[in-house]
Structure formats: C-alpha cells, structure tokens
Amino acid sequence: MLNFNFQNPTHIHFGEGQISVLAKEVPADARVLVVYGGGSIKSNGVFQQVSDALKNHTWFEFSGIEPNPTYDTLMKAQEIIQAEKIDYLIAVGGGSVVDGAKFIAAAAKYEGDDPWDIIVKQQPVKQALPIAAVLTLPATGSESNGNSVVTRNGSKIPFSSPLVRPLLAVLDPSVTLSLSERQISNGVVDAFVHIIEQYLTYNVNGKVQDRFSEGLLQTLIEEGPKALDPASKDDLEIRANIMWSATMALNGLIGAGVPQDWSTHMIGHELTGAFGVDHARSLSIVLPALMQVRREQKREKLLQYAERVWHINEGDDNTRIDKAIQCTIEFFKKMQVPTSLSDADISSKDIDLLVGRLEQHGMTALGEHNDISLEVSREILLKAL
C-alpha cells in the first residue's frame, strides 16, 4: 500500500427529513447565501424545506448555476457576496451547484488579481467561505470532497482544495425521487467510473481499498437498474444505497493509499467541453475503449475486477478480460447511457479536435503511470468510435 494521509471532516446528515438540521447546524449569526441551479429545487419542495430550516437566519439567494458551471455565471455571485457581507454558503443541488459554490467560496476570498488563476494557474486556495451542501443528485461526491470543475469558453478545468470541502452535507434520498431517468443514470454511471478510476490501476496490495471498491461497484450494479425500473424506481432504500455509494465513491476513502488513474475523466471532459456531452455519458463512452487499449498495463486489476465484481472465472486471461469489458458495456446499456462516440454522433473527423484540446489543457501524460500520451488518448478515442 502507498503512504497516505486521509481526513474527511464533512459532517454527513443522512436520511429523510434531514434538511431541517440546517436550522441548528448553520451558525445563528451567519449571513448566508443559498446557491442553486435552474429551479428543480423550487418544484420538488427542497427550496421550501431549506427556507423553513433557515427561518431564523439571515439569508439571500443566488440561482442559475448551470450544469457544468461556468466561470461567468459563478463570478456574478460575487456582487451579492460583497453587498450583503455573506460569510456562509449553502449549495442546494447536484454536483454542478456544489462545485460552483466551491469556486464562489474561493473566489470571494481570493487576494490575487483574477480568481480565474485559481483554476488556470492552479493558484493555491488560501481562504474560502464555509460551505454546507444539500445534495439533490447523487453522482459526483462533491458534497464531501474538495474538488470542483469549472467551465470557461468550452474548457472544463478542475481545481481542488481542502478549504472548499463542505463542512456539512445533507443527504436525503427522498429528494432524488424527482430526478429524471437521465439524471439517475448519469449519477450511477459517474459514481461507478469514480470507483473504477481509483481501483483499476495496478496492485499495491491495498486490500481494504480494493474490497471497499468492489462492494461499491456491486452495489451500483445491483441498485442502479432498479432505480430506472418502473416497479422499483420510487423505492427509498434503493435511492439511499445509490446515494451513499456515490458519496463513498469520491470522498477520499477508497483512493487513499492506492494509485489513481483519472484519464477517463480527463478525456471525457473534452467531450463535454467540445460537444456538450453530459459528464457521465462522456465517461461511459471513453471507459470501455480505455479498458481495451490499457489491458496490458491494467491486466492484473482487470482480472481481479472480472473475478470479484462480475464473477467471471472461466476461460484464459484474455477471455476473462474481454468478458469483464463486455459486462461493463452491458451495465452501461442497462443504465441507458452511450458506450461509443457514434452513439453521441461524434465521428472520426472530430478526433483531431479532441486531441488538440487535450494538448491545450496539458493532458499529455495521463493515467496511473503518466504514460497516456496524446497518441494513446488518440488510440482510445479511435477505439471508442
């Protein structure tokens, strides 16, 4: 196992009705800005629950954070933060809103000239406003990690700081009942690929991390399709298991002490930036091709994945790996997400553009061995056709 340090201070409040804890968890004298997206929280009752919980607080609101939040939108929040002396943010929404709140929190306290430098120059965040998250879409793990992805002019760029990790997160599975099938699928697939990015590398004998990962993968494989099935889609137990899996997938636990890949994400970001493909759908397109192209480097873990996650025990090594990749594709198809570029109307003539964007964003040495060069990314994209 590799050396690691691990601390996850996010205080999780899990279960139905938990939004009410904001009343006592948010400091009474805070000047709060509630940030949210396009309005789903108004139609599903979540906004009302937040308003009720904050009835004795001083609070303001900022809305309009879009999926794949943009720098321009997020910077608009600075005006109200300055004018109303905001000192506490509550993000109410999916990963985009929580990620957006993280950038807003860091930008509000940034002392340099241009907050965009936090992202483009990866300037360290030295201070940030405190954040609470009320999660409405289980997917990204953003509610209990320090990561954020911000888009500007078609470039999707991540930044990370422990100072923007939410202090508390409310996870109420019942608020996910209003999600569309597409967003449920996206969430399950995003969480699945987060686990894969931290698991499917090379063996360092991280038995705890591996078995946690395998358990989470199996939970998503079992529960994901049930959340789309008309017979069980409103079952709160299913929603709860998906929600907790998605948080555990990217709260730092399973990735501590093991190598990590993240190339599926970095290549996927270019599909979103250039063609607007939903984040999770970019991953379901890239991952099967990446597994094929990297099968030698990932051989041992692919075989472990085949055996322990999919119970594939028959056939020689290559046959078992092929079957595991096929099972992954079939799972994605059950979750109704695309598994090839052509499924998303992207063709071979677009690959130069995507590789060019990877180069422009410095994504030239990806993967757990830093050996996914632009040429290897091209090979993966060609395989994904």
Interacting residue ranges for Zn ion, rule: CB under 5 A: 190
Q: Are 192 and 217 in contact (CB under 8 A)?
A: yes
**Strand partners of residue 19:** none
- Quick check: 209 binds ligand NZQ (CB under 6 A)? no
Q: Interacting stretch for ligand NZQ, rule CB under 6 A, among 17-25, 70-78, 115-123, 175-183? A: 175-183
339 binds, among ligand NZQ, Zn ion, none (CB under 5 to 8 A by kind): none
282 binds, among ligand NZQ, Zn ion, none (CB under 5 to 8 A by kind): none
Give Dmax (Cα) for the chain.
67
Minimum CB separation of residue 384 from ligand NZQ in Å reads 18
Minimum CB separation of residue 173 from ligand NZQ in Å reads 10
What is d(CA 144, CA 160) in angstroms, rounded to the nearest whole number? 12
Task: Give the tokens for residue 341.
Answer: 């570029």
Q: What is the DSSP letter of 26?
A: S
What is d(CA 22, CA 133) in angstroms, rounded to the nearest whole number? 10
Q: Interacting stretch for ligand NZQ, rule CB under 6 A, among 177-185, 227-235, 309-317, 372-380? A: 177-185
Query: Closest-CB residue for Zn ion?
Result: 190
Minimum CB separation of residue 10 from ligand NZQ in Å reads 12
What is d(CA 85, CA 259) in angstroms, rounded to the nearest whole number? 42
Q: Which residues of 345-373 are buried (b: 16+ CB within 10 A; e: fewer)?
A: ebeeebbeebbebbeebebeebbbeeebe
137 binds, among ligand NZQ, Zn ion, none (CB under 5 to 8 A by kind): ligand NZQ
Task: Give the tokens for residue 193.
Answer: 């690929």
Question: How many residues bind ligand NZQ, per CB under 6 A?
Answer: 35
Residues 344-373 vs ligand NZQ: string with x where CB under 6 A? ------------------------------
- Quick check: 252 binds ligand NZQ (CB under 6 A)? no
Q: Which residues of 181-201 are buried (b: 16+ CB within 10 A; e: fewer)?
A: eebbbbbbbbbbbbbbbbbbb
Minimum CB separation of residue 186 from ligand NZQ in Å reads 5
Binding site for ligand NZQ (CB under 6 A): 37-41, 44, 67-68, 93-97, 99, 136-137, 139-142, 145, 147-149, 175-176, 178-179, 183, 186-187, 190, 250, 265, 279
